[in-house]
Amino acid sequence: MKSEPAECSIDDLARAPGQRVPWTGVRNHQARNFMRDAMRIGDGVLFYHSSCAEPGIAGLAEVASGAYPDATQFDPASPYHDPKSDPAAPRWVNVDVRLVRKTRLLSLREMRARPELADLQVLRRGNRLSITPVTPAQWDAVLRALADDRAAA
């Protein structure tokens, strides 16, 4: 799950009540469908900082709720307001995300250098989705990369 640190960083998540935040503002149908149809409570999340000086995985989190209507779609003051969304049939959903642990930054450059992560969807050129699925093998490869780097430090 990608977040711009200026909007919600891993540190913001760590400071949030219960170390939990709603993942609001997703306005892409495919990303919304991942949250609505595929994410389950307890699923692991790679918390990815994007649109910043050094993008990459900044921590581990987990899905802490089922999908529910994203309130920002109904708030005219929100940058995520969607005037076409009807409260009786909301177009957009979010899930809550809870911190598992902050990690050192596993940079985009480092991930691209690891052959076992070559198929990670977030690494594909032109990928703009804020939420992408990760296979169990990719998840394990990220955890190994973080462990390898801790052991080397």
pLDDT 10s digits, 62-72: 999 999 999 99
CATH number at residue 57: 3.10.590.10
The rounded distance, in Å, linking the Cα atoms of 73 and 71 is 5
HSE of 15, CA atoms in CB hemisphere, 13 A: 5
3-state SS, residue 100 = strand
Query: For residue 101, which amino acid is it?
Result: R
pLDDT band at 2; cut points 50, 70, 90: very high
Percentage with pLDDT > 90 across the chain: 91
pTM (predicted TM-score)? 0.92
HSE of 89, CA atoms in CB hemisphere, 13 A: 1
3-state SS, residue 96 = strand
The rounded distance, in Å, linking the Cα atoms of 114 and 128 is 21
User: Token pair 């939420």 is at which residue?
Assistant: 131
Helix count (H) and strand count (E) of the chain? 4, 7
What is the number of structural domains in the chain?
1
Question: For residue 91, what are the domain limits?
Answer: 2-152
The rounded distance, in Å, linking the Cα atoms of 63 and 44 is 7
The rounded distance, in Å, linking the Cα atoms of 68 and 94 is 6
3-state SS, residue 73 = helix
Q: 14 and 102 in contact (C-beta within 8 Å)?
A: yes
pLDDT 10s digits, 86-132: 999 999 999 999 999 999 999 999 999 999 999 999 998 888 889 99
